Amino acid sequence: MTRSKQASDASQNELLRLTGITKRFPGVLALSNVNFDLKEGEVHVLFGENGAGKSTLINVISGVLTPSEGAISLYGQPFRFSSPQDAREQGISPVFQEFSLIPDMTVEENLYLGREETTHGFLRKKEMRRAAMRILARLGFGIAPNARVSALPRAQQQMVEIAKALVTDPRILILDEPTASLTEAESARLFEFVRELRAQGVGIIYISHRMREIRDLADRVTVLRDGALISTVHAQDVTDDEMVELMTGRKAGVLYPRIPHNPGNVMLEARDLHTVRDRVRDASFQVRAGEIVGIAGLVGCGKSELVRAAFGLEPIDRGEVQFDGDTYAHPTAAQSLEHGICYFPADRGAEGLAATRPILENASMAALPENAFSIRGFLRKGSEKSRVQEIMERLQLRPMRLFAAVGSLSGGNRQKVVLARGMTRGTQVFLFDEPTVGIDVGAKAEIYALLGELVAEGAAVVLVSSELPEILGLSHRVYVMHNARVVAHLEGDEITEDRILSHFFTDHTDAA
C-alpha cells in the first residue's frame, strides 16, 4: 500500500533518505534496519512507544549519533554527518525535549549562542536583536528578546527553543514532542506555524504521542516498535485505533476506564486560597473520597499552583486548607504527607526524582519517617525493600530492578516510581499534576487504570491536566481555572468540551 503511494508523490523533492539504518549500543540494539525519508513541504510524524527508537533515529538524523550501519542521503547526495554542527550547517535543525537553553542568559543571547554575528570580532547586538524580534514575532508568543530564560514559564522556554532552531532558516526541522508543555491554545498557534513552514517547503519530522496532533498535522506517519520499522503510512489512510495497534502490536482497548462515582467524606478542602505571588487568587475546591476531581485551564492559569499551595509547596498569603478535621493556614508538605495527602509533580525530572539514586530510594522517599521504614531515625532496610517490591509489583514495573538508577528508566517507568511514592504510605488523597506528560499511550492506559483502582478503593483523586480529553474522560467533577481564579465548577453532564473551553477564554469573573 505504502509503496504505490510513495511513488505517486515523487513529484515532491526528497530532502532526506535513510536506508537500512542500524544503531547498536553496548548490549542494546536501538535501531534495526530502519528506512525513512522526508520530502519537501511535508510533516512526517514518528510514532512509537517510549523506547521504540524515535529519539535514537532523530539523533542519527541530527548528527548526534553515528549509525552503526546504513546510508544517509541528503538532498539527493550521499552524506555522512561528523557532528551536530555539521548537520546544522546542512540545514537540519533539531528541537529536542531536553532544553538546550542556558537559563541565566537572555532569550536573544540563547538564540545566537555559538553563531553570534560579529564585525571584526565585535558582537552586532542591534542586528541580532532585530532578527530575534522578527523570529519571535513570527511565532507570535509575545516573548521579549531581553527576558532571562530562567524567568520564563516552561511553555515559553519551549517556544524559545523552537525559535532557536529557526534562526538558521533550516530546510529540515525536527520537533520532539513540542507540545508536551503547551496548552491547547498555544499548541494551536504552534500548529499554524508548522503549517506555514510546510507551505514554504520546509520538511518537518514531528514526534508526538497525541493522536489529535497527528490528525491535525501529519502527511505521513512512520511507526517504530522496539527499534524496528513497522510501517510508513499516509495519515488519511489509517484510523486512530489502527495506528495505536501498529504502535503497541496489540488491539487498542478503551483508553479511559469507566470509574464509578461514589462520593464519601470531604477529604481535602481549600477555602479562598490566595498565594503570596498572586498565582492563585481566592480559589476554593474540595475533593471527596471515591471521586476524581479534574482541574482544567490554560498553562499558567494557576491550576498547578492551586494544588501545590494546598499541599504546602507554595507560600500562602490568606485562605485556609482543611483536612483530617484540622484547619491549616500554612500547611507544609510534611504535614500533608502525614495526613495521607500526596502530591505528584508535573516535572518529574526537576521535582520528583533523584536521577542518580536507585528506584528503591526514590520510591520510599516520602515515607521515610513512617514506622515501616525507620525507627528513631534509623532505616529499616529489609522492611523498606519488601514494601517497595510489593508496590512496584502492583504497578507492574518492568524490568523489576529496585537498585537501578532512576535516570536509566523510560518515561513510563519513571512515572511509576513517582506513583509508588504515594503508595508507600497510607495515602488517601492523590494530587496528580499532569500525570501523563511525555508518556506513551500504553503507559497512559496503565496509569488511568490505576486511578480507577485507587478511586474504587475509596481514595480521593485530584487531576490537574492541560490535556482536555483526559479531564473529560476521567473526571466526575471539574473546576475550571482562568487567570488565577476558579471560574467554573461543572458536574456530571455539564462536563463537555465546549463548556470547559468557553471558560478557558472568557474573562467574565475578572470584572468583579
Binding site for other proteins (CB under 8 A): 27-30, 51, 53, 226-227, 312-313, 332-338, 343, 345, 350-357, 361-362, 365-366, 368-369, 373-374, 377-379, 381, 401, 421
Give the nearest distance from C-beta 28 to other proteins in angstroms.
6
The nearer residue to other proteins, 185 or 403, going by C-beta atoms, is: 403
The nearer residue to other proteins, 133 or 228, going by C-beta atoms, is: 228
The nearer residue to other proteins, 150 or 506, going by C-beta atoms, is: 150
Give the nearest distance from C-beta 371 to other proteins in angstroms.
12
Q: Identify the DSSP state of 236.
A: G
Residue whose cell numbers read 500525570: 435
The nearer residue to other proteins, 230 or 333, going by C-beta atoms, is: 333
Distance of CA 392 to the CA centre of its chain: 23
* Three-state helix/strand/coil letters over 136-178: HHHHCCCCCCCCEHHHCCHHHHHHHHHHHHHCCCCCEEEEECC
Give the nearest distance from C-beta 469 to other proteins in angstroms.
27
Helices (H), 167-250: 184-199, 211-217, 240-248
The nearer residue to other proteins, 42 or 370, going by C-beta atoms, is: 370
404 vs 256: CA distance, rounded Å = 31
The nearer residue to other proteins, 343 or 448, going by C-beta atoms, is: 343
Give the nearest distance from C-beta 435 to other proteins in angstroms.
15
Give the nearest distance from C-beta 70 to other proteins in angstroms.
18
| Long-range own/partner contacts, residues 226-230 (CB < 8 A, 24 or more apart) | 226/51, 226/52, 226/53, 227/29, 227/30, 227/31, 227/32, 227/34, 227/52, 227/53, 227/56, 228/31, 228/32, 228/33, 228/34, 228/53, 229/33, 229/34, 229/35, 229/36, 230/48
The nearer residue to other proteins, 275 or 362, going by C-beta atoms, is: 362
368 vs 373: CA distance, rounded Å = 5
Give the nearest distance from C-beta 94 to other proteins in angstroms.
21
Give the nearest distance from C-beta 202 to other proteins in angstroms.
31
DSSP per position, 47-73: E--TTSSHHHHHHHHTTSS--SEEEEE
The nearer residue to other proteins, 134 or 381, going by C-beta atoms, is: 381
Give the nearest distance from C-beta 112 to other proteins in angstroms.
27
The C-alpha angle 474, 156, 179, rounded to 5 degrees, equals 40
146 vs 153: CA distance, rounded Å = 15
